[in-house]
Amino acid sequence: MRIIETERLYLREMALSDAENAYLLNLDPEVTKYTGDIAFESVNAAKHFLENYNHYTKYGFGRWAVINKNDEGFLGWCGLKYSPDTNEYDIGFRLFRNSWNKGYATEAARACLQYGFEKLKINKIVGCA
């Protein structure tokens, strides 16, 4: 199900079928360089993470798969996250390097921010760099 659509992309909930892409995405040290995240140990570990990812049901949003409309290719993810310990909503994204410098992250993040402010009525969304 498409949650957000832009000119070139659509965003949908991550699915178990995305486990290999999630694994490969986090495996690239350049992709996770500034995140503090470690790579999944295996595709099965990524699948286990996705099976237990409850942000969609708990909050009604989350990190969504970013899909290229032209070829249905998985580019990475983008979306919102709520952290109850800080009571903050944040925007985040992670794309495969072959998708960098094409404006995809900006396009997806803008759409997620618009969704957060207009549809979810969030007052403040933070971003870390």
pLDDT in tens, 3-30: 999 999 999 999 999 999 999 999 998 9
For residues 23 and 47, what is the distance between their CA atoms, to the nearest angstrom? 9
Domain segments of the chain as ranges: 2-126
Q: What is the pTM of this model?
A: 0.94
For residues 98 and 60, what is the distance between their CA atoms, to the nearest angstrom? 30
Strand 9-13 versus strand 2-5 pairing type: antiparallel
- Give me the torsion for CA of 47, 49, 41, 15, rounded to 10°: 30
Structural class in CATH, domain 2-126 = alpha beta
The amino acid at residue 30 is E
